[in-house]
Structure 1
């Protein structure tokens, strides 16, 4: 537990390595909720986005965002309109695809039961492609994912291959997916908050029960000690050999102490 807490502190102290340099506003409440709990440490996330991605003959001197030999002609975490897409397509010199990528979150968990709780909440909230992986070193990672993606090619070598009417239709579909994505994030946050509160309450009851059992154990031990002192044999009796009945009773008394 101490090792996990140390790794969590180190990870959360790092600077944000994303190009944006900060959390997506829509995903931030979920991340803060998880990181405020000891068993969880968020690793990476995206609230969902619409992207025009160009590969192939991209201009390496362009000021546009570069990623793995590709150019992001447009990226937004909100709904978009036809004019924005058409303006971005005018910059195309290679093959361009329109992509919708839904919310994704990776969380390192302290114990398997923590990952299972998170997985159950994610699936119930609509993120049915979620899963748990365990690394060789025992690191438990929970990924929150869904399958309502979209990826459609629009141009080839800078030439638009579809009509503007079709692009307008695709934007409508993509915006519907973004709207559904936002709803799933909201459901996930509410369900996660409730599940974490329930789990915390169960842990409190377990701790209270353990403390109550310990108190009962201590009281019983004290009563046994007082009883033994009150029936302590005389010096003469101490030198006498135990009768068989006394030996059995004493052995059972010791066994009872162990089982309590």
Structure 2
């Protein structure tokens, strides 16, 4: 057990601590889950995303410098609006070389007091279908559980400053992203229920 856990948790959850995410707040769909975990003595969350569909500028070759140049043209943590996406593509700056549509599933990082505590939530995550979940321990003894799945989607639609696909294709891609979001939320509901049952009993 790390002797620093309580201090780490206090510092991480301090009311005046700045939220460094782009949204600067917890996503609405997972607020209750985050609070349930943070209210438990043996856990706290360090970062999270309920899942999102984004339209973003990108580079054909991703490096540390090009990644920082990524710009979001559209983002939603709910069902994507095809008309809003078509509008943002129509109004895109013509100098943008590459644009992609991407769906990212729910991800959650939880700091755990002990390895035994971490294994409890890891087993729940795996049972709920988050097969890509795992544990990492830092040199300072900080144990991080990453809850994540492999349900991602990324499709380039503007290449060389030209829109390479028609509206029907974009509509289909957005429809697939929305199907993934629906499945993503169903899985979150299951995970939240299992976590509540387990942590509520301890």
Residues of 1 paired with 2:163 and 2:79: CA distance?
22
Q: Provide Cα deviations, 1:35-89, integer angstroms capped at 9, x if missing partner.
A: 00111011000010000110249xxxxxxxxx71111111110111321111111
Aligned-pair CA distance for 1:19:
2.3
* Corresponding residue of 2:154: 151
> Structure 1 residues 134, 56: closer, same or farther in 2, change over 3 A?
closer
Equivalent of residue 140 in structure 1, options 125, 140, 143:
143
Equivalences for residues 158-169 of structure 1 within 5 A:
158-169=161-172
Greater RCO between the two (CA within 8 Å, min separation 6)? Answer: 2
Aligned-pair CA distance for 1:158:
2.4
Q: Is the 8 A contact 2:5 2:142 kept in 1?
A: no
What stretches of structure 1 of length at least 5 have no aligned partner? 58-66, 201-260
* Corresponding residue of 1:182: 185
* Corresponding residue of 1:218: none
Aligned-pair CA distance for 1:15:
2.1
Residues of 1 paired with 2:26 and 2:114: CA distance?
26
Q: Is the 8 A contact 2:125 2:191 kept in 1?
A: yes
RMSD between aligned residues: 1.7
What stretches of structure 2 of length at least 5 have no aligned partner? 61-66
Equivalent of residue 48 in structure 2, options 36, 42, 45:
45
* Corresponding residue of 1:8: 9
Q: Provide Cα deviations, 1:103-156, integer angstroms capped at 9, x if missing partner.
A: 000011000011101111111112111001111222110000000100011011
Is 1:74 the equivalent of 2:74? yes
Q: Is the 8 A contact 2:99 2:156 kept in 1?
A: yes
* Corresponding residue of 1:209: none
Q: Provide Cα deviations, 1:185-241, integer angstroms capped at 9, x if missing partner.
A: 11000001112234x1xxxxxxxxxxxxxxxxxxxxxxxxxxxxxxxxxxxxxxxxx
- Please report the TM-score for the alignment, with normalisation by the length of structure 2: 0.89
Structure with greater proportional helix content: 1
Larger Rg: 1
- Please report the TM-score for the alignment, with normalisation by the length of structure 1: 0.70
Is 1:126 the equivalent of 2:140? no
Residues of 2 paired with 1:106 and 1:40: CA distance?
10
